Amino acid sequence: MTRRTDWAEYAFPVAPQERGSRGEGGSAEDGDGAHDDMWGDSDAQGAGAPRDDGRARGGRGRGRRRGFGEPADGPQDGGLSFSSRAEKGEPPAADPVEQARAICLRLLTGSPRTRKQLADALRKREIPDEVAEEVLSRFEEVGLIDDGAFAEAWVESRHHGRGLARRALARELRTKGVDSTLIDEAVGQLDTEQEEATARELVARKLRATRGLERDKRLRRLAGMLARKGYPEGMALRVVRQALEDEGEDMEELGDGEF
């Protein structure tokens, strides 16, 4: 395990001289305080506490709480105009390593990200590949990037929150650049029994909305809903048929293979 001081030294390095320093009769300009902006509320500096430049902290409005993996508002690649660099705490463009660190930290503050997502963001900002590789590897070393933990949390959140089945979850994780081995381990948290139990809960919630429709239309609508969430066709049809039978629908004349 990396020492806390290792992470602190890496994430918040001593500010370069050109960022501002305390001279005789001078004042601190930027420095480490620039990094505080990326984290929002900080244990070291609470809401309403004055910044180094005298402005009150916590004046920005806050929106709704985002769910797991939901991106923050605004550009996904952490793009900033030159005029807003100092305000946002981004290092000068002349120092690509510091710039890459700041971009990654800001994105990770908004939501967990995979290594590929961060690499794509750095590429869009035209960070050199060798610099991006160095920064991303260091972030993995200190635990700020962990694709395995990301995949496990994604499965837990999206299955219980959206009712997604293993197939749909694996597809989403592939689009985020997670390694296939890590995907298999993450979706392996769900077994067939748990997946089917979730499918039954989904159908039970939607069943009332289909009342009054013809039996076949109800069957197609409910089974189609499960299919879109990644449930196998056989499981979807079996779960829906059972739910309709429990409501008194005659399903005997419907063939087992009809969907």
When pLDDT is averaged across residues 211-233 and rounded to a whole number, the result is 93
Q: Which residue has the higher pLDDT, 255 or 112?
A: 112
Residue 54 tokens, joined: 């005298």
Q: Do 127 and 99 form a contact (C-beta atoms < 8 A)?
A: yes
| Under 8 Å between Cβ of 111 and 72 | yes
pLDDT of residue 146 exceeding 80, the answer is yes
Distances in Å between the Cα of 142 and the Cα atoms of 11, 38, 50, 129 are 10, 18, 30, 20
- For the cut 70, the answer to whether the pLDDT of residue 103 exceeds it is yes
Query: Tokens 């290792």 appear where?
Result: 6
Phi, psi of 246 (to 5 degrees): -65, -25
What pLDDT, on a 0 to 100 scale, did the predictor assign at position 113?
A: 95
DSSP-assigned letter for residue 19: G
> Rounded to an integer, what is the distance from CA 34 to the centroid of its chain?
24
Give the pLDDT score at 37: 37
Q: State the burial class of residue 148 (Cβ atoms within 10 Å of its Cβ: 0-12, 13-18, 19+).
A: middle
Tell me the percentage of the chain whose pLDDT exceeds 90: 54
Q: Which two tokens stand for residue 252?
A: 């005997």
pLDDT at residue 82 greater than cutoff 60:
no
pTM of the model: 0.62
- pLDDT tens for each residue of 38-78: 333 333 333 344 444 444 444 444 444 455 555 544 444 44
Mean pLDDT of 149-156: 96
Residues 2-44 have pLDDT tens digits of: 444 444 444 444 444 444 444 444 433 343 333 333 333 333 3
The 10s digit of each residue's pLDDT in 184-194 is 999 999 999 99
End-to-end Cα separation, the chain, in angstroms: 53
